[in-house]
Structure 1
Amino acid sequence: MTGTLRWNCGDQPAGSISYVAKMSELGEERLLLYFSRGTGEERESVEQSVRLTHTEPNFGGKRWWMICPYRGIRVGKLYLPPGGDRFASRKAWQIGHQSQRIANRDRPFEALFRIQKRLGCPQGWEQPIRRPKGMHQSTYARLEEEYWRLDELCAVEMMRVIGLLSR
């Protein structure tokens, strides 16, 4: 199996990666990645080989996994962060999850915004909420109670910040 993935930034092409899945040799399955990195004279063509393995779920078939070229661990995704030179696992690149990068003072706001998004309301502190059509009243009541609890925590945090700024 072969293919190419392309992506744009706005209307302009921003990058592409080609791949070849080598599946003919049992136990030696690999994914070959072909991409370029850098620009101008520093542009480098890269060919990276990633080992593949599989598990057999209870419901049948095969679930394919990649083996991180640097950590040797089984993963479902590989990453190439800005400035990176090869694809590797989240652990190899030491990439944290979004939720791990949120400061404690921002957590109530983030939770509040998630509830607003779930309700289809504008996101922001002190924005009104409403029950969406089709949502059970008991579900909305639970979310509304959580919303007001979080709103209170956000107010406390805002007062703390205002107190720090007024010193």
Structure 2
Amino acid sequence: MSVRGRTYRYVGPADLRVLVRPGGEGRAISSSTDLDEWVSQRPPAEREEAFTFVVDVDGVLRLAPRRSEHVVCAGGGRVLSAGEISFRHDMGRWLVDEVSNQSTGYCPDVSSWPAVAEALEHAGIEHPAAFTLPVVFRRCPDCREHNIVREDDFVCVFCGSDLPHDWNVDPRA
């Protein structure tokens, strides 16, 4: 795969990073068959909800149950994107129902969508043209808290300062 773009390192709480275990990363999905097998192994109630996903730095889609932490799904490493995704099976093929970049551990920009699209295409899974539920993350330059920008209101919910319009969550990125 020819994945390009920014990589995101984990910027969430340190106490969640300790949950990462060797071999505990999310299931690599490189084909529809991989998705069939992984979903069939999930408990019935879990199959009906969205899954946690990351696209690793090699461009591979990795899935984990929804209540999993993104940093665990990524094996603690950098990612090209992260969020939540749901699928439906229709006439023998997999389609993405909804997909977001909602990951407060990595806070990926909406511009990470091409990495998600490429990973899904590589796996043969049909998808929308963009995140169906895009999330805009910003870091407050004054109080340094991470914010989710809602309704284009670029104001920090913690201290009231203006937030930048360009992605700035990870100062070391």
* TM-score normalized with structure 1 length: 0.22
Instruction: Find the structure with the greater CA-based Rg.
Output: 1
* TM-score normalized with structure 2 length: 0.21
The structure showing larger relative contact order (alpha-carbon pairs under 8 Å, at least 6 residues apart) is 2
Please identify which structure carries the higher helix content. 1
